[in-house]
Each structure stands twice: as C-alpha cells, then as structure tokens.
C-alpha cells in the first residue's frame, strides 16, 4: 500500500464501499502516479498540405469529462447521434490549431479561432490557400463549417447548421472555389416525439427458400416504426454548395443522403441515399440505397444503381453483396465512375473463375460500362496514376492471398500485368504501399518518376530484427527496386511523405525508446532537420527499460513480445517482479507467418493509460502483446484448436519471463480488451497459470454471436463444438482465479453486448468464484470520459495489488 495517499484511499473507499451494489457508487481516483499518466499531454496531429510545404497541426486535448460524454445520444440503425447538433456523437475534439511552414520550420498562429474550438476534423483546399474545419459544440448544438484563410492567417465561420450524422458533412470542390456540404433542411421542424402508446407490434418474417445467410450480431438497431421516423429526421440533409464568401446554393431536395463527392472536373456529384424499407436486423449501410450522378444544380443526370435491402450475406468472410459496390470517381479522369460487381453472386462457396469485375463508365454516362479488369479474387481498391497506369488490388480472405495488377485505364483491352502476388499475412515480403500525392483538384495520384516508368513505395520493413521502414523506387519495366531510405538503429524512422518528385526529400517521424516521435526533414545523406519538438509526455518514466524478446511455443512456432521493466529495476538486485501480461490473439493460415517478428525495439516507450504499461509506475513488469497466434494451415481452421494453442502461447510466455528472472511465476496476471478479454477469460477457465485476470469489454458466450466472430467464418450450426469449446461462459465453474470484468454500459461493438460481462459475472458469482463487475455509464467499446478512465485504472490497480502483488505463493498448483 506504499505510496497511496489519503485522498486516493478516500476516493477508493467511496467508489468501492459496497460490492453488492446496494450502496451509492462514486467514481474513484487511482494512485497519483497513474493519474499523472492519464493527464499527460498528447502530441498534436499533423496534416500536410497538398503542396507539401505547409502543414496544419491540431492539438489533441485531454480526455473530456463525463458531463460531455453523457450528452443526449440517439442509437439508431447502427449510428450514434447527438440530437442537439445533428452530428455523430462519438468523436474527439481538437483543442488548438496552427500552421507550420515546412521550409522555414516556423509556426504560424491564427486569428479568429472560435472558443471553445471543438474541431472535429480538418481538410485542406486543393490550392492550399484555405483550410476548412468542422466545429461542433455539443452543449449548444452548434454544428458549423469554419474557414482558415492561409495568406491572411485568420479563421472565420463560413456556414452553420451542418448535418454530420452520416459522415464528415463537407468536402472541397476541385477548383477550391467552395465546398459541397450537407445542411440541416430548412423548415424541417422538431424531431418526431417518441411513441408512448403503441399502435401495433413490430413484425418481422422470413420464408422457406430464402437461402442460408449470415447475419452478424449488430447493436443500436431500429426497433419499431417510431425509431424509423426519428432516424429519418436526423439523417435527412440538404446538399448545397457554399462559396468562399459564405453564399449557399442548395442542390435539389433534401433526402437521406449518405455521401456526396464532386467529380474531379467539378461538373457532377456522385451521391448515395438511403431508402425504405428499413430493417430491424442490420444497420444503415445494409439498407436499400440509390446511387446517382447529379448535375451542378442537383438534378438527376444518371441513375447508377438501386440496391436492395441486404439482411445477411452468404457464409464466409469473402462474401459480398450483389450489384454495384466500392464505387468512386477515377481520380485521374474528368468524370469517370469506377466500381466492382461480383460475378459469383457474392458467394465464395460458388465455383467461379472470375469473382469480381471492375467496371468504368465515363460522362455523359450514355454508353455501357467497360470492363477494366476481371479478378479471380475480391476487388480491394485502385490507385490511379494516369491514363496508362493504375494499380488494381485483389484479395481472398480464406487463403490470405493478395495480388496487385498494373492496368492501363485508357486502354482497358490491354492485358493487365501482375506486379505482386503473395499473402497479406507475410509481413517480411510486403513490398510497401505506393506513394500518392494530391493533384491540382485535390485527388490522390501516384507519384511517378522517370517519365512514368517508376513509382515509389513506403513500407514497414518487417524483418527478424523488427520493423525498419523504408522508401523504394520501383522500375515498372523490369521490376528492379532501388532503396532510397532505410530506418537504422538506434532510431525508428517512419516516412510520412515524399517532398519532391525524386524521392530525395522526405518527411519522416523519428523516435527512440527515450525520445517521442517528432517530425523531421531528410535530404539525401544529410542529418535530419527537426520540424517539431514534442516533449516527453511522461518524463517520470523516461528510463523504463524495453526489450523485444523472442521465444518458441512447444510446437516450434516462433513467438515475440515486448518486455518492459520499471525505471531503476535490476533483476539481480531486486529479484523477480509481479508481472502484467496483456495480449490479443490473432489467427493465421501458416506457422511461418505467425512466427514473424512485429514492431520494433527502437519505438518510443509510450506509456498510455489504455495499455498495460501504465502499471510500470506501480512497480510491475509488463509483457505487452506477446504473440498468441492461432494457426490453421491448409484446410484446417485455426479455431478448431484454439484452446490448446492459446494455452501453449501463454505457457511459453510465462516460461520465458521466469527464465529471465524478471517475473515471479506465482504473481502473474493476464489481461486484455475485447478479443483479448475473451482470451483472458478462457485462460482462467482452462489453466491455473495466472493469479488474476482483467477482462475489458469482452464477449464470453459464442452462442450469442452465432453467425461468426473475429475471423471465424463458420456459423454456430456449422461448427457447434468449436463455438461451445471456445466459450468461457460454458466453463465458468472452472474459473478459480479472480477475474475483474469491466464493460461500457453502452457498448455498440458487434458481439460485445454488455450482457456478455453481466452473465459471465452472474455465473461466476453463482458458482462461488471470485469476480467483480464494473459497468461504466455512458461508455461504449472504448472509454472516453476522464472519470471512466481514472476509475478503470483504480479498479485494475486494486485488483492487481490484492490478488497479484500481495498474493501468497501457491506452490505446484500453477499448471495448465
């Protein structure tokens, strides 16, 4: 109990006075050293301008209070809506905004910014003369569009009454003359009042012969017609153009607009709107929708597609809806639509040589679409260069296969050329991501060199030594690569952008275990020049020791983890410590991919309140992200042997930290969030390896997610023994070590209903086990309020102190 202040003990006493829930509960404060981590400053976010010589920086504020998080909120059709502001209710605000001249490294402060600032996001104009941002004030209901005049270094409000329920709510016109926005319709009136007297039941029906469909476990769905009317009210918006003087030109009539984007030449708008009939089973992205091309006046120019309601897909993670999907403008052409359509009915179980067609249709849209590519896998997107060069990606989840093709968009009959083929699990052979830059209209285009014969790639550089990010130039004629940059020890440098057309000047972030990431300019072989000087957020923990450790599972699969030790700790002098292990299992199709090293030993030792590293301040050793691979090679499914593989991974990690002399085998806790919480409950149900567990926002009964979960493709009825074996709820009688369950009362993540934690706690309590259930008000899958985060840490600290740090040895019983 050393170091706990009287104030902290009082706060804890108020918060945990009665474990049976009968006494009033209050938010607790953790120990001061944990509170300091919560309140540590966070680094600003940087947004590079399209000309790459100017950047905007937005300061990320400290956590909001519960009074902000507890603002009124509607949960409709998979959306969470702030009804005062007609905005999405779950977002982070920017607390400050300024500019940075990349060439001179000078900061530029702005006049006229509103207070409170409340920035939701920023977007540069294509000509870089302006910066737009959305300001939301949840308390007053303000939802505004603001404009920064870069030459004048001043901000002003451009428009009010935005509707950002379905997305950002604004985008720049390609000529930088104004913005396309979603406004709250004029004269719409108040939202429909909730139905207090039902006029009838909510009815759903299915019919024999409708086929086998997978319907994932969604939350925040519509429940009745009253919900549907309220949903329509808040989603309905008016498309409009707003010029730089603030003049508004409305386009067409209000509708349930989901998205709207101008064509690169500015003559058209690609718009999507939802329609009835709605559904009580799926969220809005599966509702019927119309995809249309509108003219500058909002009039219909071309009806692209009318997509029906989709209540479930065929079995498998490679299943997709039929009809038009992933539609967008081709960024290198004036007004050409590009989209994919399944040729196998969207069913991965159906044999088909061609899975997807990639189609194009150019303005004025009076000719039939042309086929740009026929794919044997699923369409994964396109990256545009010019009429002679675009990259088409395809993937297949089942086999983890990935391919990349070079195509000529202006000559679609030209045979595509294969540039890459492999597995997206294979990080060691990942060639990197093609570099794009904004063109004059603000659209991303491939950065080409040598007259279009070469492009650039930025990659993680995964290797047995850890990640070493790189920049390569790829010769498209012969496939030869030239390495232009490679991160070197003792730093971790990540290229963020290329600042010239030759790849010689780079914007990078540079960090080391004791130095936080800062932006720097690299020019050839010269020493990097610092653009920013962000301070260490937790200097009291600057001397934390970190090591990327490697060990093997008993079946030979190579594993890694990141071991952290408290400042000043010496294993020979101080002996083994209590240890907190925090993990998240991952499925693989090959043992070789599962054994690849992830992360880098040269990354900054970022101590976050969200992860386990915060407990270094309380004297614990921490093993973060130890590999917990679940491998199913060939035709085998990973989850068929989930439990034995999970146990083997945990046992190997424990054996390694004990062998190193840094951890006491009798004082090790296991924890995780979401799927990591599921892992935690399973390890406590099937082993006695750990003295306690911390499970946050997890799912524990897989019969409540019967149409698949995580990477599991099969339904409960196809793999019932697997679902049952993987559900720790079924083995609650075997959970003999203390389990702390924490969950947001309003969790909207598919599958992790709050009832999952409530029912597991009830089972453990009824069976005489030791558990504590903490339900955080107004919190979702992640926790946002400062009070909630502090209370989470206080609960976790108390649990670890009681059941791990001060636990008595239990001898030979600590085995699977």
State phi, psi for 727 to the nearest 5 degrees: -90, 105
Task: Show the tokens assigned to 611.
Answer: 């992860």
108 three-state secondary structure: strand
What is the rounded distance in angstroms from the CA atom of residue 565 to the CA atom of residue 545?
5
Contact 691, 667 (CB under 8 A): yes
Contact 678, 728 (CB under 8 A): yes
What is the rounded distance in angstroms from the CA atom of residue 503 to the CA atom of residue 386?
19
Contact 474, 493 (CB under 8 A): no
Q: At what angle do helices 642-659 and 675-686 cross, to 10 degrees?
A: 80
What is the rounded distance in angstroms from the CA atom of residue 698 to the CA atom of residue 774?
13
Contact 262, 180 (CB under 8 A): yes
Please count the residues of the chain: 816
Please list, residue by residue across 629-660, b when 16 or more beta carbons sit within 10 angstroms of its beta carbon and e when fewer do: bbbbeeeebbbbbbbebbbbbbbbbbebbbeb
Non-local (6+) Cβ contacts of 608 within 8 A are 37, 614
Please list, residue by residue across 232-271, b when 16 or more beta carbons sit within 10 angstroms of its beta carbon and e when fewer do: bbbbbbbbbbbeeeeeeeebbebbbbbbbebbbebbbbbb
DSSP secondary structure code for residue 21 in this structure: S
Task: Show the tokens assigned to 691.
Answer: 């003295």
State phi, psi for 783 to the nearest 5 degrees: -110, 130
CA-to-CA dists, residue 135 to 158, 608, 786, angstroms: 11, 27, 22
What is the rounded distance in angstroms from the CA atom of residue 651 to the CA atom of residue 657?
10
What one-character-per-residue DSSP string does 543-579 give? T-EEEEEEEE-TTS-EEEEEEEE-TT--HHHH--EEE
Task: Show the tokens assigned to 453.
Answer: 């014969």
Task: Show the tokens assigned to 158.
Answer: 């451009």
Contact 469, 457 (CB under 8 A): no
Percentage helix, strand, coil for the chain under 3-state DSSP, each rounded to 5 = 20, 35, 50
Contact 546, 562 (CB under 8 A): yes
State phi, psi for 729 to the nearest 5 degrees: -55, -35
Residues labelled as active-site residues: 674, 747, 781
What is the rounded distance in angstroms from the CA atom of residue 78 to the CA atom of residue 407?
37
Contact 405, 416 (CB under 8 A): yes
């Amino acid at each position: 109990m050393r170091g706990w202040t009287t104030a902290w003990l009082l706060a804890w006493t108020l918060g945990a006075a009665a474990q049976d829930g009968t006494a009033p509960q209050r938010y607790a404060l953790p120990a001061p050293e944990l509170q300091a981590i919560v309140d540590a400053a966070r680094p600003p976010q940087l947004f590079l301008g399209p000309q790459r010589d100017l950047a905007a920086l937005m300061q990320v504020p400290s956590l909001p209070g519960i009074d902000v998080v507890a603002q009124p909120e509607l949960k409709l059709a998979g959306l969470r809506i702030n009804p005062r502001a007609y905005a999405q209710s779950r977002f982070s605000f920017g607390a400050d905004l300024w500019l940075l001249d990349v060439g001179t490294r000078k900061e530029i402060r702005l006049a006229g910014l509103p207070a409170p600032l409340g920035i939701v996001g920023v977007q540069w104009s294509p000509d870089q003369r302006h910066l737009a941002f959305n300001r939301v004030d949840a308390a007053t209901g303000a939802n505004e569009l603001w404009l920064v005049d870069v030459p004048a270094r001043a901000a002003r409000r451009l428009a009010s009454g935005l509707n950002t329920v379905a997305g950002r709510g604004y985008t720049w016109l390609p000529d930088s003359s104004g913005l396309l926005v979603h406004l709250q319709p004029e004269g719409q009136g108040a939202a429909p009042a909730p139905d207090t007297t039902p006029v009838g039941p909510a009815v759903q029906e299915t019919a024999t012969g409708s086929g086998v469909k997978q319907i994932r476990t969604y939350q925040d769905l519509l429940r009745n017609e009253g919900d549907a009317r309220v949903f329509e009210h808040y989603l309905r918006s008016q498309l409009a153009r707003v010029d730089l003087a603030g003049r508004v030109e409305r386009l067409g009539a209000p509708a349930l607009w989901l998205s709207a984007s101008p064509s690169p030449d500015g003559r058209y708008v690609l718009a999507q709107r939802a329609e009835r009939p709605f559904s009580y089973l799926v969220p809005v992205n599966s509702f019927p929708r119309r995809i249309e091309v509108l003219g500058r006046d909002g009039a219909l120019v071309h009806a692209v597609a009318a997509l029906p309601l989709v209540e479930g897909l065929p079995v498998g993670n490679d299943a997709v809806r039929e009809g038009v999907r992933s539609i967008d403008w081709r960024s290198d052409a004036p007004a050409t639509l590009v989209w994919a359509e399944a040729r196998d009915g969207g069913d991965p179980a159906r044999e088909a040589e061609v899975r997807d067609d990639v189609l194009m249709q150019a303005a004025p849209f009076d000719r039939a679409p042309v086929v740009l590519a026929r794919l044997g896998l699923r369409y994964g997107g396109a990256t545009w260069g010019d009429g002679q060069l675009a990259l088409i990606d395809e993937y297949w989840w089942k086999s983890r296969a990935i391919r990349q093709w070079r195509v000529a968009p202006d000559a679609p009959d030209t045979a595509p050329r294969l540039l890459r083929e492999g597995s997206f699990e294979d990080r060691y052979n990942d060639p990197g991501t093609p570099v794009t830059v904004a063109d004059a209209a603000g659209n991303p285009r491939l950065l080409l060199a040598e007259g279009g014969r070469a492009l650039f790639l930025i990659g993680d550089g995964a290797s047995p030594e850890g990640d070493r990010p790189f920049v390569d130039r790829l010769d498209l004629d012969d496939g030869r690569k030239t390495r232009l940059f490679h991160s070197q020890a003792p730093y971790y440098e990540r290229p963020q952008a290329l600042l010239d057309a030759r790849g010689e000047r780079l914007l990078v972030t540079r960090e080391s275990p004791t130095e936080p990431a800062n932006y720097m300019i690299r020019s050839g072989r010269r020493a990097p020049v610092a653009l920013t000087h962000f301070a260490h957020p937790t200097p009291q923990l600057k001397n934390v020791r970190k090591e990327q450790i490697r060990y093997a599972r008993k079946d030979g699969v190579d594993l890694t983890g990141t071991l952290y030790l408290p400042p000043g700790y010496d294993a020979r002098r101080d002996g083994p410590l209590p240890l907190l292990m925090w993990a998240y299992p991952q499925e693989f199709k090959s043992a070789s991919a599962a054994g690849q090293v992830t992360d880098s030993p040269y990354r900054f030792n970022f101590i976050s309140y969200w992860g386990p590293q915060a407990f270094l301040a309380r004297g614990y050793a921490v093993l973060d992200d130890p590999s917990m691979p679940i491998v199913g090679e060939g035709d085998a499914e990973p989850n068929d042997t989930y439990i034995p593989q999970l146990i083997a991974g945990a046992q190997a990690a424990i054996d390694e930290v004990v062998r190193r002399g840094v951890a006491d085998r009798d004082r090790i806790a296991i924890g995780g969030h979401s799927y990591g919480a599921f892992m935690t409950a399973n390890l406590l149900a099937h082993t006695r390896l750990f003295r306690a567990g911390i499970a946050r926002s997890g799912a524990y009964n897989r019969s409540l997610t019967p149409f698949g979960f995580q990477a599991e493709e099969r339904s409960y009825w196809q793999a019932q023994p697997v679902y049952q074996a993987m559900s720790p709820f079924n083995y609650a009688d075997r959970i003999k070590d203390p389990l702390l369950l924490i969950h947001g009362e309003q969790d909207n993540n598919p599958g992790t209903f709050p009832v999952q934690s409530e029912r597991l706690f009830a089972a453990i309590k009824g069976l005489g086990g030791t558990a504590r259930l903490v339900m955080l008000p107004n919190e979702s899958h992640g926790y946002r309020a400062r009070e909630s985060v502090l209370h989470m840490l206080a609960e976790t600290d108390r649990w670890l102190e009681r059941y791990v740090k001060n636990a008595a040895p239990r001898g030979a019983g600590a085995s699977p």
